[in-house]
Amino acid sequence: MYNVNYHFVWCRKYRHAILEPIEKSLEASFRDVCDEYNYEILSLHIPPDHVHLFLSAHPKHAPSEIVRTVKSITAREMWGQHESFLEEYLWGGGFWEESYYVGTAGDVSTDTIEQYIERTNHV
C-alpha cells in the first residue's frame, strides 16, 4: 500500500498559448498514458500554455521517470494528430519545454491541491 502523490507543472515549448484547440485530444492522451503506466490522475488542468497534472504513482516510479514518460508520449501523439497545426508555432520540432516543476503533497492534503488546480485561474 502507498500514498505517493505528485503535482507536476510544465510549459509548452516557447510558451505559445496553443493548447486550447487540441485540449480534448491532449487530455485523452494524458489519460491513456497514465492508464498504461498505472499512474492515477487525481487532477488535470490544461491552460493554453502549460499543464498541471496531479497524480498518484507507485513508489518504484521516480518523478523524473513519470514526467519523461508522460511528456514524451503526449508530445509524439500530439505531433501525430495535429502536425499541420503545430508546424505554424513550433520550429525545429519539440512540444514541451525540458524543464518542469514537481512537488509532493507533503503536509498539504490531496483536496487542497486538487482545489488549487481546479479553481485557480492559471495565467
Mean pLDDT, range 94-120, rounded to an integer: 80
Cell 505559445: give the residue: 16
Sign, Cα dihedral of 67, 58, 42, 30: positive
Q: What are phi and psi of 45, to 5 degrees?
A: -135, 130
Q: List the end-to-end C-alpha distance of the chain, in Å, as a whole number.
A: 37
Q: Domains plus CATH for the chain?
A: 5-119 (3.30.70.1290)
Please give the residue that has the higher pLDDT: either 117 or 76: 76
Amino acid at 7: H
Strands across the sheet containing 5-11: 40-45, 50-56, 5-11, 101-104
H/E stretch holding 56:
strand 50-56
Kindly list the catalytic residues.
Answer: 116
pLDDT in tens, 44-60: 999 999 999 999 999 99
Coil, strand or helix: which one is 103? strand
Question: pLDDT by residue (tens digit) across 63-97?
Answer: 999 999 999 999 999 999 999 999 988 877 789 99
pTM equals 0.84
